[in-house]
Each structure stands twice: as structure tokens, then as C-alpha cells.
Chains A and B, each alone.
Chain A
Amino acid sequence: MVSAAQTKFGRLKGLTLREIFGEAVDKATIHSDIPKEDIQAAFIGTFIPEMLVHQGHTAPLLIDFAGMRGIPATRHEAACASGATALRSAIMAIESGLYDTVLVAAAEKMSSVSTNKATEALAAAADDKFESSMGLTFPGVFGIAAVSHMEEYGTTEEDMARIAVKAHKNASTNPLAQFQKPISLEKAMDSRYIAWPLKLFDCSPISDGGAALVLTSNEKAKEYTDTPVKIAGTGQASASMNLCDRAHLTSFDASIAAGKTAYEMADLGPEDIDVAVVHDCFTIAEIIASEDLGFFEPGHAVDAIRDGETELDGSKPINPMGGLKAVGHPVGATGVKQIVVIYKELLGEAGKNQVPNHDIGIAHNFGGTGASSVVTIMRRYDA
């Protein structure tokens, strides 16, 4: 990986999906001294522009707008994991020898519709026939997971609120974040229920944003930079869409399986990870992901959170820039933005959000009810 960039996340008034996408691509190419002419193919992530901006067939449209008319461009959709699945296709395309240099880019424009309409669009990532059709929402899905986790391990609403406080604290020094104000534990605890036991501050917001990466073969990387970041491992898995078909609700099988594949490919384990970005669409999701990836034993992530181990300066920093929770969650773009965060952290370019040790990083991106999960392990050029 020789370049990685994201746009500002938030309610980007006056900007359309294509403009947000174009800005992300420009930041990852011309602003990073990578000529667009070198890009041979584009792997694009968008979740549901059909419902959000009334636009399908986004890949050729977006790549044309970004000034690369003619190259093969393919859209990837896996709900919130759309971005990471686009990255995986790019990795496979380079590994196969088909291309040397490719673009991974993703964007979502969500603020153009009402909150209820956005909620409806998001619900399309769950099973329409058996769960969302009876009024189960996304916060509800994670509310159910939270209830199971609380019952099994004694996790509390305050533990979840601590994740929100950490996210907002980290985002307060991230100029690209949607929310840049720290919040108190009381404020998080006092917010209203969205889907009991999850409150407003347990939920990621509705956001617009884009992100882009340039990947090239090991041989070509030196032509672009002295400090490329290596993809050490990648894993992906699927699981049942319906919660009721899961054997357990306190962990996500697809995340465990994707993590295992990625660790094996990288020949690394959870203890080797210096910095992690996990899919915290809801606070409980960060708790469960950090257990599914093996950082903590099941039920013990909350101890690490209480002890500050997952803070910026802790032994296992998680979501150092503020996560989906406070940076924002433009669904299709999130998986690519997570890779941008790890890229910057590994190169020591994360500014006030820099973690102390940064040889090896991991990104965990999952889709919808957890039915898709993608895990990517990255390594600094000299690590």
C-alpha cells in the first residue's frame, strides 16, 4: 500500500456522492504524488446508494467522475463491510499478477434522506423476511447481543458508555471526525434509549464520507515511496443473517473465522498487534470484536476498558482516531477508512492520535448483523 486518504466525515452539506468519492480519490492519488494514469483497475465500495441517493451502477459513474474513465471498475457490496471486500478483491487482483497498481475507493452519502429513511435503508442489511419485517432495527440487533453479553459475563451499560467516552475523546483531536467534542460518562449514561439497553451514545451516527487507497505489487512499491505498508494477512467469512439462527449471541462467528484466517496468513497472533481498528458501529460491537480477535478472553474486554488498556497510550490501543462511533459511519466507506487509520498509525503520521508502538496493525470490518466479516493485518515496511 503506497497511499491512503479519507475525506472529512460528517454531514457534508452540498456535496454529492460523486464529489465525495472524487475528493477521496484525489487525496490518495494526485495529492500523494501518484499519477492517476498508473491506476489499472478500481475496486469500489458503496452500500446502498439506490435508496440513499437513487443511484445504482455506481462504479463506472464514480470512476469517470474521478477522472479515470475507461479502466475496469467494479462495485463491492457487503453492507458495512463493503469497503473491506473491495480491498480484498484488489489484493487478489495484484497477487494474481493481473495488475500492478490499483485503486480501492469507497464512499456513501447518507444525509440526503431523513433519519427514518436512512434507518430503513440500513435495515436492508438484515433479513427482510424474518427479522427486519417485524420491526427489528440495527440498534435492536446489537441490543440483543448486548443483553446476551450482559447476561453471560456481567457486562454493564456503564462499560458500554466507557467505549463511547473513549471514542469521543480520541475523535476530539481528529480533524476529519464528525464529532470533535469529548463527552462525560454521565452524558453517555443519561442519553435516551434507542434500543434498550443501547442508548443514543452507544450508536454510530448517520454520516457522509469517502476514503481511498492505492495498492501496488511489492516490486513496484519502491517507485512510489520509500515507506510502503505491507498487507500481511487477509481473512473473510460469512455467517447466518438471522440472529435467531446463531448458536450464540455473545460473539460473532464470522469475525472469529476471518481473524483466524488473517492471523494464519500473516503468521502472527493477537499478542503481536500494536494497534487495532475494530468495527464499533455500536459500543457493544467494539467489546465483542476485541474478544473475537483474541485480544481479551471472552467477557474480559470490559476489564481492559476499565483499566485504560485500550486508550491511545494503553497496551492495546483500539480505535485510536475515534472509531465509527465518533468519526462517523458512511457505511460503504467505513472499511476503507479503517485501513487509512492503520496506514497512518503504522507510518507514525497520526499526529495527536499516534500510538506509541506501531509495527503491526489490524482492521476488523463487519457487515450488517455480522453476516460478513473481513479482517486485514498490516505491517510497516521495516517491521
Chain B
Amino acid sequence: MKDKPTVEQYLKNIENGDFKAYKCQECDAVVAPPSGACYSCGGTDMEWTSVSGKGTLVSYTVIHVSPDEFVDEVPYYVAIVKLEEWTSVTGRLMGFDPLKPEELEIGMDLVLDYHKGKSGKTYLAFREP
């Protein structure tokens, strides 16, 4: 894990069900998705870090009309989730009825998971703890 983190490896980690975030070596801020510069201090020296997987729901939508690639998956949730480590990521939501989106609550607790979609891709996903 001493290699300099890359976007390609970040995406591979998700595909392998092994999510890792970046950690700024200047100020210890956790950064995900990858950025070339730390949101907090602007530092560019990053290492990998693990996360607890705990987060809360910031906002969400349900996609009914999609590009061709995802057409077999509609309707599906896409959400912004704030991790316990104070960085937010975008992911799918699993275990909720996509036709009853009003039942979800902003701020609800979620845990990190993965979802293999019909597109063949593995998405970063979140579900109820």
C-alpha cells in the first residue's frame, strides 16, 4: 500500500469490493472521491486509507430515464452520502423501494456496500445498517 494512490486503482478497489479513500499527508483529511489537491489544505501528497463504512444520507434521486448502459437497471437510486470521516461520495442505494423515495429520510444512517449492476459494473453502494 505504499504506492502513490491513483484514480484507476481507486476505481479498481470499488470493483473488487475493497473501498479505500485518499488521506492527505499534510493535514490527515480523508479525501474521496480522489482529488489532486486536499479540500482542506491544498496539499497534494496522498496515501490510501480505510474508512469505517458508516455514513449518513445527504441527498438522493431516483433515475427513471438513463443512458443505454443503465437502461436495464431503472428505476434506481443515486445518493450523496457523507462518510463518518467527513468526506462525501456518490453511490447507489440498495434495499429501498425505488417507487417510494419519499419514505427515505435525509440524515439517516447508512453503511457502505457494493452492488453488481446488470451493466456488469460494481457500484459503490449504501444500505441500512
Contacts and interface: CB of A to CB of B under 8 A. Distances in A.
Interface of A: 116-117, 119-120, 123, 129-131, 133-137, 139-140, 143-148, 151, 192-198, 242-245, 249
A242 B76 contact: no
Contacts, number: 110
B78 A244 contact: no
B63 A137 contact: yes
A119 B80 contact: no
B65 A243 contact: no
A19 to B, nearest CB: 28
Given A129-B7, A151-B106, A243 B80 contact: yes
A148 B33 contact: no
Given A135-B63, A244-B88, 9 more contacts: A119-B67, A120-B68, A123-B67, A129-B33, A135-B123, A143-B63, A147-B59, A148-B106, A249-B58
Interface of B: 7, 11, 33, 35, 39, 58-71, 73, 75-76, 78-81, 88-92, 101, 106, 117, 119, 121, 123-124
Given A120-B67, A147-B61, A196 B101 contact: yes
Contacts of B124: 134
A193 B62 contact: yes
Contact of B11 (A129, A136, A139): A129
Q: Which of B61, B62, B67 has the most CB of A within 10 A?
A: B61
- A contact face: mostly helix, strand, loop, or mixed: helix
9 A-B pairs with least C-beta separation? A143-B61, A196-B62, A130-B33, A135-B70, A244-B88, A120-B67, A244-B90, A148-B59, A136-B78
B63 A244 contact: no
A195 B92 contact: no
Contact of A144 (B7, B60, B91): B60
